Structure 1
């Protein structure tokens, strides 16, 4: 396999904001994240709470990123910063606006709150002699205006620039890693563990290991027929990435429309919940998910549920499953009844619960949802009007203005979660 000539002409940057949440907290306090021991975590939660971020200074002391608070060595004094998700989103938007000073919005793709891809192919002559000079200029601007440090990866496609960011930038004096086809095969082909490579998780790594494959070079040496039999369609991108190829462009990423849609809603509970308590939480989540369907003018034809047990109870496996509704609907009563029936039939009664997740599948616009003889259009229209009134009130006065009666029960937590972003303090 060989990339076409046009792909060879491309130059991409992948930029990552270093220890982003912790760096924002340090910047707002006038502190240097490379000299300050700071942890972003909610101190009101238990010691098992996961740290959302730690400063580079703590990482240098051997503290693992995304560790639990109790795992930080007791001999290290540190500052605990309460998560402020709205503030982090605000700074992320500020940084993205800086990127757009250097490239068109059509050549930028925000990958996450702290990472972005830039196609800098047409801009290098304008801003400097090469992509590295442009990357340095962007990084310096971000640091000067936000106080947040950044690293960057450079490559001829989006995969190579991301690998350069993940594997090479952290070891570079200027925080910039760069790969081309030749250096990729020299420096990355035999890299271990293979899970350091973008897109390869523990599950894929275990399946490869069963065939004696432990690195990208091993994938290249493996019979493609076996890979396609083992991974199906996913084998194609696995093979491409092993050779350093990536046909997807930023335009492709920006224009991607999935063939199938679903909505999901999940949470990790802050303590062990009993069967009845977790059922209350599921009912709250179902109500909110149906409001989301109504807000986006969508309908679903399938519901799914996952209930994870706590501690040693994980040995029991998990509860949940999937159930078809028989038609496409956004009806709160029908969706909730189906989810609660799944819960009652599959979840152990006497086992503590720590995780509840639901998803709505077969999602389509209401305008093209196929009607059936068993629909009740009058009841559905009434429910849609009620949902519309709820959403208008919430938009104007806040998410806790109108709640389901379930949310007044002791085990309910929707009122607290409505004030959070991504499950953390806004």
Structure 2
């Protein structure tokens, strides 16, 4: 028996929530954006009139205003968005206990076991959800209905705003295969560019490839995309109350002014590594790898990652490894707008200890560092996160040469 999966996507979510307080702007091009004075001046969301003017999410304010000189800008209210997201998911809970959020404005619902309680017609249930969200919350919803999560999401994207699209077992090839390959879940810009080099521009062309070829080109992702394109996705819908394994722990920040020296970047990396290490220890996890992303003033992201020789949750280790990646990515005085440090390949303490070389570094030195950072955690827990800072946050002298 096929599953019955719904993917519910709130249309123009941030902008729609803001327009509840500004109904006079519904037919006026309007966007939610960050504060230009804080260097977060990008478009976070836009309404349908702004979309028709060509305004795009994540572009800068000046780019958006160039396309749409009359664009009205509103500041974001993230607490309000979280509240509405919670209310929408609570409404979904009335129809199934299997509701899996995918970001703040999207959720999958598995109604296989409960659909008979609501009439037995999946399209009708989707239309009911759209009506209730519109009438009770003032928001619009697009819903995809299918036999797996990937096609359900394709369905919610297929027609917007405020629409229901069914992708059935009988018709999915006719509907899905002509779509651009970039519409498929997890096919981002880099994957799309790579596939285009091999003449793969539609989901149908991707489906026709040999799995082995895609795995050679793209590794594990290639096999996953082969299954997605051929309707073989079996990923379950997980309840939002079910704890999801932590796959990465990261922290990033945009700086008030561009960083142009290695000392400035090291200070930023040390502060971010401190935050990441503290969260790892709080979660009882060790990082087996680390990733660093640098963002230029032109919003170009440069990213690199590496496997660590020993799993760690220590500030010193993460800072040192992150700076090695920075030195491979960046050459001064190229300006850096933002930095992100992410711990990857995470393992619980017992799993980390199973690796023979976990404590390849001299044990007394590592044990001393463990005690030091544990003491820092206790002090911060009692007196606040800003009460003590690890010495690695102190910058090098400006004249220190690159290694």
TM over 0.5: yes
> Which of 35, 56, 71 is 2:63 aligned to?
71
Cα 1:347–1:220 change in 2 (3 A) is closer
Q: Write the distance in 1 (CA, Å) between the matches of 2:334 and 2:60.
A: 24
Runs of 5+ in structure 2 lacking a partner?
396-403
Give the C-alpha shift of residue 271 in structure 1. Answer: 4.1
Aligned length: 386
Matched, 1:41 2:33: yes
Provide the residue aligned with 1:180 in structure 2. 168
Q: Is the 8 A contact 1:305 1:322 kept in 2?
A: no
Partner of 1:222: 209
| Contact 1:323–1:338 (8 Å) recurs in 2 | no
Pair 1:103 & 2:91 matched: no
The answer on whether the counterparts of 1:23 and 1:33 sit within 8 Å (CA) in structure 2 is no
The question of 1:211 aligning with 2:211 is answered no
SS of 2:8's partner is: strand
Change beyond 3 A, Cα 1:146–1:231 = same
Q: Note closer, same or farther for the CA distance 1:41–1:306 as it changes in structure 2 (3 Å cut).
A: closer
Shift of 1:254: 8.5
TM-score between the two structures when normalised by the length of structure 2: 0.82
Query: Is the Cα contact below 8 Å between 1:41 and 1:50 reproduced in 2?
Result: yes
Change in Cα spacing, 1:17 to 1:353, as seen in structure 2 (3 Å) is same
Deviation, structure 1 residue 41: 0.8
Classify the secondary structure of the residue corresponding to 2:9: strand
Could you state the TM-score of these two structures normalised by the residue count of structure 1?
0.78
Provide the alpha-carbon RMSD of the alignment: 3.4
Deviation, structure 1 residue 35: 2.0
Instruction: List per-residue Cα deviations over 1:193-220 (Å, max 9, x = no partner).
Output: 3212222223222332232222122233
Within-5 A mapping of 1:7-406: 7=2, 10-27=3-20, 29-31=21-23, 34-45=26-37, 49-73=41-65, 76-104=69-97, 107-167=98-158, 169-170=159-160, 175-191=163-179, 193-251=180-238, 261-269=247-255, 271-275=257-261, 276-311=263-298, 322=306, 324=308, 326-340=309-323, 343=326, 347-367=330-350, 369-370=352-353, 372=359, 374-376=362-364, 377-394=367-384, 401-402=386-387, 404=389
Q: How far, CA to CA, are the matches of 1:47 and 1:339 in structure 2?
A: 24
Secondary structure of 2:160's counterpart equals helix
The 1:144/1:346 distance shift into structure 2, 3 A limit, reads: closer
Alpha carbons of 1:288 and 1:37: their partners in 2 closer, same or farther (altered >3 Å)?
same
CA distance in 1, matches of 2:160, 2:241: 28
